């Protein structure tokens, strides 16, 4: 994941063409057709401070400005996608293709105070980034998420204190596209209700949510559930033709002063924890501080209180720079037929995981092989873990779809040696820089071109020559290549140097 930053905004990139079907329905056999319904593929997101030209009439026409009082978050996807219809959840009918054949469902989590120990989702962590990442065959590399990602569905016990802390993601806010959480209030082509090439729509609804884990302890009121902070916000859904990209953007006040500007009001209301009048990120944070300070002795004894406790000593003004926020997201498309256990079919997540990295250290190496072998030894033939209860070199997952295993790399419901072989990073030896299945002088020549010395970041195109993954290409990498040299035409050991 690459990041570029300027003063007012930062852009983070995700690999293209990495969308894959990840069903979560019971049996993982719900009907999906990628030929008819494009799989959402995340390309990038940009987040920062934004100043609309006229906030009262159009939030999305404006410019990135340092110190501006509006948040803008925009996510770019490959190809033409359309707003999602309802998925059958929450009392709504099943109609995912209401606005077109390529619905985009998404949940975008924001850690605004950059503190993984505050915030999270105690209701449905299995639908979020930490609950989903393992379905892609790896564990997130981010150090602050260590020990929190689900390795399988046993993580979802809804007991706050048990490991892994999958429900303690650090999420303070999330944006969502679920089909039932917005109305369409503007169409560039009002001739029909289908989103088409080159169109721009404006959506309005409760698509921004403060973390659900805060609600039990929050004093926020007056709109939605007690303790919730779910203001009505706007999103822009737009498609560009060349190249074909879909951009979804939200613009939202960081302060109540910006909220007054947006609402055309000449006065600024004091913060009151009420998302039905002037509302903002700052107000939502101030309510967390007030709620933590004024918590009852009984609330303070609850294990879940840890989610909000540290806000007592925080200053929200320190956390109003969106370029400093941490962002994780999942995206997906609709099932063709309703699946009671699943809202949608997941297709991509960001940050991506390194497939085969089972401990989140950024490498696929002998440690991961050891974890894979240990899993097989502990679960092959084990009643309650292996559906067949037969020791046969295969672990057939029970309740696959609702259940999963990070070791099921090819996501077929069976963990076996084929999963290790399916790891893309092991398709060739680490030192096989020309990927011709041997390590020889041709690879040495490629490494020489990339030599930059210690503490010098690899130049563009030379990242793979950093064999020891220490962010430079130097003599240590030369030593590693020599150790793994096989000779021309002789297959190299794919685990050498790992």
Residue 360 lies in a domain: no
Q: Are residues 392 and 409 in the same domain?
A: yes
CA separation for the pair 305, 313 (Å, rounded):
14
Residue 424 has a pLDDT of 86
DSSP state, 125?
A: G
Q: Are residues 274 and 380 in the same domain?
A: no
| In the block, residue with structure tokens 């002795």 | 297
Which SS3 state, helix, strand or coil, does residue 284 take? helix
Q: Which residue stretches of 103-202 are H helix? A: 129-132
CA separation for the pair 483, 477 (Å, rounded):
10
Residue 455 has a pLDDT of 86
Q: Are residues 69 and 111 in the same domain?
A: yes
Residue 442 lies in a domain: yes
Q: Are residues 384 and 459 in the same domain?
A: no
What does the DSSP assignment read for 26-58? TTS-----TTTSPPP-EEEEEEEEEEEEETTTE
Residue 140 lies in a domain: no
CATH code: domain of residue 477: 1.10.1330
**26: its two tokens:** 């019971």
Q: Are residues 331 and 440 in the same domain?
A: no
Q: Are residues 45 and 105 in the same domain?
A: yes
Tens-digit pLDDT profile for residues 126-146: 999 999 999 999 999 999 999
Residue 299 lies in a domain: yes
Q: Are residues 63 and 205 in the same domain?
A: yes
Q: Which of 350, 382, 399 is where one domain is finished? A: 350
Residues in CB range of 449: below 8 A, 6 or more apart: 462
Q: Are residues 384 and 479 in the same domain?
A: no
Residues in CB range of 195: below 8 A, 6 or more apart: 82, 83, 99, 100, 201, 237, 239
CA separation for the pair 143, 274 (Å, rounded):
35
Residue 306 lies in a domain: yes
Residue 73 lies in a domain: yes
Q: Are residues 184 and 318 in the same domain?
A: yes
Closest CA to 487 of 417, 437, 450: 437
Residue 2 has a pLDDT of 52
Q: Are residues 332 and 453 in the same domain?
A: no
**Cβ neighbourhood burial of 35 (10 Å; 0-12, 13-18, 19+):** exposed
Residue 428 has a pLDDT of 82
Q: Are residues 259 and 391 in the same domain?
A: no
Q: Identify the domain containing residue 461 by its residue range.
A: 428-483
Q: Which of 425, 440, 469 is where one domain is finished? A: 425
Q: Which of 350, 383, 398 is where one domain is finished? A: 350
Residue 386 lies in a domain: yes
Residue 146 lies in a domain: no
Count of domains for the chain: 3
pTM (predicted TM-score):
0.92
Q: Are residues 301 and 379 in the same domain?
A: no
Report residues of the chain scoring pLDDT below 50: 3-6
């Amino acid at each position: 994941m690459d990041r570029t930053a300027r003063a007012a905004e930062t852009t983070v990139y995700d690999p293209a063409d990495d969308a894959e079907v990840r069903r979560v329905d019971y049996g993982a056999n719900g009907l999906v057709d990628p030929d008819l319904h494009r799989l959402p593929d995340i390309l990038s997101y940009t987040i920062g401070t934004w100043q609309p030209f006229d906030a009262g009439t159009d939030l999305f026409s404006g410019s990135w400005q340092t110190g501006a009082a509006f948040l803008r978050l925009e996510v770019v996807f490959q190809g033409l996608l359309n707003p999602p219809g309802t998925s059958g959840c929450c009392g709504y009918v099943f109609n995912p293709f209401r606005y077109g054949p390529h619905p985009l469902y998404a949940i975008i989590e924001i850690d605004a105070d950059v503190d993984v120990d505050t915030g999270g989702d105690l209701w449905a962590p299995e639908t979020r980034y930490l609950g989903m990442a393992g379905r892609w065959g790896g564990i997130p590399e981010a150090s602050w998420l260590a020990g929190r990602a689900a390795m399988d569905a046993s993580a979802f016990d809804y007991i706050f204190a048990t490991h892994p802390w999958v429900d303690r993601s650090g999420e303070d806010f999330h944006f969502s596209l679920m089909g039932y959480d917005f109305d369409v209030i503007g169409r560039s082509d009002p001739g029909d209700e289908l989103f088409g090439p080159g169109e721009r729509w404006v959506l309005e609804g409760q698509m921004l949510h403060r973390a659900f884990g805060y609600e039990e302890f929050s004093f926020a009121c007056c709109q939605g559930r007690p303790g919730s902070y779910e203001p009505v916000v706007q999103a822009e859904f737009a498609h560009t033709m060349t190249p074909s990209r879909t951009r979804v953007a939200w613009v939202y006040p960081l302060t109540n002063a910006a909220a007054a500007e947006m609402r055309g009001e000449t006065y600024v209301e004091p913060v009151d924890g009420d998302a039905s009048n002037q509302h903002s990120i700052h107000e939502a944070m101030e309510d967390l501080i007030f709620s933590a300070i004024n918590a009852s002795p009984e609330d303070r004894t609850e294990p879940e209180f840890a989610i909000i406790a540290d806000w007592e000593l925080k200053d929200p003004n320190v956390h109003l720079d969106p370029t400093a926020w941490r962002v994780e997201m999942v995206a997906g498309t609709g099932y063709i037929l309703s699946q009671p256990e699943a809202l949608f079919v997941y297709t991509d997540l960001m940050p991506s995981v390194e497939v085969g990295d089972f401990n989140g250290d950024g490498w696929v190496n002998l440690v991961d092989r050891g974890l894979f072998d240990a899993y097989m030894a502990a679960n092959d033939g084990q009643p309650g873990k292996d559906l067949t209860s037969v020791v046969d070199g295969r672990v057939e997952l029970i309740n696959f779809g609702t259940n999963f295993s990070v070791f099921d790399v090819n996501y077929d419901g069976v963990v076996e040696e084929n999963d290790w072989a399916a790891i893309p990073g092991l398709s060739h030896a680490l030192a096989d820089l020309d990927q011709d299945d041997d390590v020889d002088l041709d690879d040495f020549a490629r490494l020489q071109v990339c030599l930059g010395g210690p503490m010098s970041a690899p130049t563009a195109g030379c990242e793979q020559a950093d064999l020891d993954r220490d962010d430079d290409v130097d003599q240590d990498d030369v030593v590693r290549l020599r150790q793994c040299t096989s000779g021309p035409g002789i297959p190299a050991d794919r685990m050498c140097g790992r």
